[in-house]
């Protein structure tokens, strides 16, 4: 058995069941992984931190598509929420709706970007984003309004440095457009069969299995 590389793992669509929710089968192999594990997600900062707590691993996370991270008791911030908030206000003033209702739990604890429901007016959102010098990324679960120079891959460079690794020493598993920047930096990348077209094209290995089944297969391959 060879030494296992450090990991970067997406969450939604990667560690989840097809119908949604974390597949508990991933807990043990992730918890027992002999190298650092970083959970990298588009979700708001508290979500991956909480998941690390429940899995019982070190709280090493990249959240909000690279806008914020936590590694070894340090919080790293890249995104500018004030700039994004101004764009959201313009989007809403033009008739746009974030789509989460009056109690917006999706964005309540988000610090560096804003997530918008996939049923929202995408054309208007992209128009407003361009006017404010922002980008829009479609994760398959939401549109994320964020700085164009903000990505999981860029934040991985900072996280890896603090862990004493080069990004190329990591292996990654992910299923979405927002994982491409990670795939471009790691040494080996895997996409489950449910991944979107950009992730499938960027991955070194496209797995036969979907969702968590694919992630479990990738972890098994990396340990043999």
Catalytic residues: 10
Of the candidates 16, 5, 1, 36, the one whose C-alpha atom is nearest the C-alpha of residue 194 is 16
DSSP 33-76: -SS-EEEE-SS-THHHHHHHHHHTS---EEEGGGTEEEETTEEE
Q: Which residues contact 1 (CB under 8 A, 6 or more apart)?
A: 223, 224
Of the candidates 129, 130, 156, the one whose C-alpha atom is nearest the C-alpha of residue 41 is 156
Q: Report how far apart, in Å, the C-alpha atoms of 125 and of each of 55, 98, 105 are.
A: 36, 10, 20
Q: What are the structure tokens assigned to 117, written together?
A: 């429901």
Nearest-5° angle of CA 193, CA 196, CA 197?
100
- Could you tell me how far CA 182 lies from the centroid of its own chain? 9
């Amino acid at each position: 058995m060879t030494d296992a590389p450090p990991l970067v793992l997406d969450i939604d669509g990667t560690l989840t069941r097809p119908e949604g929710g974390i597949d508990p089968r991933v807990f043990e192999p992730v918890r027992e992984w002999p190298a650092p594990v970083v959970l990298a997600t588009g979700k708001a900062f508290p979500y991956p931190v909480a998941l690390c707590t429940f899995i019982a691993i070190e709280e090493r996370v990249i959240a909000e598509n690279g806008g914020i991270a936590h590694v070894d008791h340090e919080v790293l911030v890249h995104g500018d929420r004030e700039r994004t908030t101004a764009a959201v206000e313009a989007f809403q003033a033009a008739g746009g709706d974030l789509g989460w209702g009056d109690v917006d739990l999706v964005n309540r604890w988000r610090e560096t970007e804003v997530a918008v429901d996939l049923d929202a007016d995408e054309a208007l959102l992209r128009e407003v984003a361009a006017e404010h010098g922002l980008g829009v990324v479609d994760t398959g679960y939401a549109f994320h309004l964020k700085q164009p120079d903000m990505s999981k891959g860029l934040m991985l460079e900072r996280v890896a440095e603090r862990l004493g690794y080069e990004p190329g020493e990591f292996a990654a598993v992910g299923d979405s457009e927002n994982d491409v920047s990670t795939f471009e930096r790691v040494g080996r990348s895997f996409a489950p069969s449910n991944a979107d077209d950009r992730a499938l094209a960027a991955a070194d290995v496209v797995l036969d299995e979907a969702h968590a089944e694919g992630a479990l297969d990738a972890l098994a391959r990396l340990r043999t």
